[in-house]
Structure 1
Amino acid sequence: MTSAAAPAKVGMSVTHRRYVPASHAHYAGDLVDGAYSLGLFGDVATELCIRTDGDEGLFASYSDVQFLAPVRAGDCLEITATLTRVGRRSREMAFSVLVTARGNPHRGESAADALDPPVPATTAQGVVVVPTIEQST
């Protein structure tokens, strides 16, 4: 079943949840590189563009990327993209990664804790470009 895209409106958002597998750890302490968050931002931006424009869009730029807390293997993440400006072809978005759960090896090999409140790990602003829709006459 297919449906038409909803008109792009400021405030629309998409949220994904993701578990960070051990295979993504690159550094001591099971740390994951910052590019991991940027890749996740691309995923939520893609879905938001599909929902608003019926097209995956293409990333044009990131700005104001902030790495606020570490992301580690074993973390559960919540990744959100929110439309902040809608142009003719451009879509500006605010992005965030929250750590909602984290492994706790001090309690046991597979122990983990839900984090309340979640820990902000990464934020950014970004611009995605979507194609113009040709009107038939």
Structure 2
Amino acid sequence: MSDPREGLTVTHRRYVPYAHAHYAGDLVDGAYMLGLFGDVATEVCIRTDGDEGLFASYSDVQFRAPVRAGDVLEASAVVKRVGTRSRTLDFEARVVCRGRPDKGESSAEVLAEPVVAVTATGTVVVPPAGG
């Protein structure tokens, strides 16, 4: 029987400030994205179990497209499996807006199609029920 928590989706949006650019071309490091996934996972745990939970592991992380300072990101987590204390989550981070310095210092645009930048699968753990 399926657990009603399976399929729950949580999404956060965040602007990437220029202070987070670490590389040429205003690129942002992958750790920034994993931090976003941790934030989304925390909300998932609060919603499913009334606890912030702890991140246990990633079983897969794929960096698919660059993330740059000036981007607006949408990070989502979907509950795929509910165990006794563990929750398997699928993550996806998409670029939904992008800075356009080629058009002017503060120019930016909403992308017609979001760009999938990072995908991952991770496991979080929560305290025992009633504990």
Normalising by structure 1, report the TM-score.
0.91
Q: What SS does the corresponding residue of 1:41 show, helix, strand or coil?
A: helix
CA separation in 2, counterparts of 1:128 and 1:8? 17
Give CA deviations for 1:53-87 in whole Å, capped at 9, x if unaligned: 00000111002100000010000000001000000
After the TM superposition, which segments of 4 or more aligned residues of structure 1 sit over 3 Å from their partners?
Answer: none
Contact 1:25 1:73 in 2 (8 A): yes
- Output aligned runs, 1:98-117, within 5 Å: 98-117=94-113
Bigger Rg, which one:
1
**2:57 equivalent in structure 1:** 61
Q: What SS does the corresponding residue of 2:52 show, helix, strand or coil?
A: coil
CA separation in 2, counterparts of 1:32 and 1:11? 30
Q: Say if 2:87 is the partner of 1:91.
A: yes
Give CA deviations for 1:63-113 in whole Å, capped at 9, x if unaligned: 210000001000000000100000010000000100000011111111111
Q: Say if 2:46 is the partner of 1:50.
A: yes
CA separation in 2, counterparts of 1:47 and 1:63? 20
Unaligned runs of 5+ in 2: none
Give CA deviations for 1:20-76 in whole Å, capped at 9, x if unaligned: 001100001000000110000000000010011000001110021000000100000
Q: Say if 2:122 is the partner of 1:126.
A: yes
Q: Say if 2:19 is the partner of 1:23.
A: yes
Unaligned runs of 5+ in 1: 1-6
CA separation in 1, counterparts of 2:16 and 2:58? 23
CA separation in 1, counterparts of 2:36 and 2:24? 22
CA separation in 1, counterparts of 2:52 and 2:113? 32
**2:76 equivalent in structure 1:** 80
Q: Say if 2:28 is the partner of 1:11.
A: no
CA separation in 1, counterparts of 2:4 and 2:92? 19
Contact 1:98 1:118 in 2 (8 A): yes
CA separation in 2, counterparts of 1:116 and 1:12? 26
Identity %: 67
CA separation in 2, counterparts of 1:68 and 1:134? 40
